[in-house]
Amino acid sequence: AGIAEKTGAKLGTLSPGANSAGLSLAGVLPKNGKGKHAGAMLDESLDAVVLLNLEPDADIYSTPDAVAKLAKQNYVVALTPFVSDALLEVADLLLPIGTFAETSGTYVNVEGTPQSFGGVANPVGEARPGWKVLRVLGNLVGAEGFDYVTSEDVLAEFNAKVAEVSAGSYVASGQVAKANGADAPAD
């Protein structure tokens, strides 16, 4: 950032993983002293952990001993389209979900622009879209706000919560050059 500032260059940043911009907009990331990142949570003894489409030995790269820490938790539920040795080691319950190609949904790209898509195949066997499995789990434990019928319902609530999902909403998007040179120098 310092080099860009001193040279008058534009600085672009990329989010660290798929849909991390959407997670940031939804308030999933810890900030202002609220919430904890995965490593800090796994340092504690938790009553329950829910893993959504996550391979603990590959996806929790900030915590190298994530598999060992997850294996020590009281109860781990993994919603996953695949079974791996790491999931078998840590999960008390595996629930089958469809792959990204077997569900509809929306990702928010690095610019903060939502990109919706439809499933191109039906989930295999007993698998269901991840959001539907989460809805049922929410209903089973009596949690409020789990009455979605479609993925569009989930998106509508997301849009209502963040008011407007647009370029500039995501904290890093102010540093991303806009298409066709229609931008000002990065802040």
Q: Return the pLDDT at 165.
A: 46
Residue 73 included in any domain: yes
Q: Return the pLDDT at 18.
A: 67
CB 21 within 8 A of CB 173: yes
Residue 155 included in any domain: yes
Residue 103 included in any domain: yes
How many domains does the chain fold into?
1
Write the pLDDT tens digit of every residue in 31-80: 767 778 888 899 999 999 999 999 999 888 778 899 999 999 999 999 99
Write the pLDDT tens digit of every residue in 68-114: 999 999 999 999 999 999 999 999 999 999 998 998 888 888 777 88
Residue 185 included in any domain: no
pLDDT at residue 178 above 50?
no
The span from the CA of 98 to the CA of 94, in Å, is 13
The angle subtended at Cα 131 by Cα 83 and Cα 37, nearest 5°, is 75
CB 139 within 8 A of CB 146: yes
CATH at residue 146:
3.40.50.740
Residue 107 included in any domain: yes
Between 41 and 26, the more confident residue is: 41
pLDDT at residue 167 above 80?
no
Within the chain, strands assigned E span: 49-52, 76-80, 93-96, 105-108, 114-117
Q: Return the pLDDT at 128.
A: 94
**What does the mean pLDDT of the chain come to?**
82
The span from the CA of 102 to the CA of 119, in Å, is 5
Between 137 and 16, the more confident residue is: 137
User: Which pair of structure tokens corresponds to residue 27?
Assistant: 């308030």
Between 42 and 158, the more confident residue is: 42
Most confident of 15-24, 104-113, 146-155: 146-155
Between 157 and 32, the more confident residue is: 157
Q: Return the pLDDT at 15.
A: 66
Residue 181 included in any domain: no
Residue 94 included in any domain: yes
Residues of the domain holding 115? 2-175
- pLDDT above 70: percentage of residues in the chain: 83
Residue 180 included in any domain: no
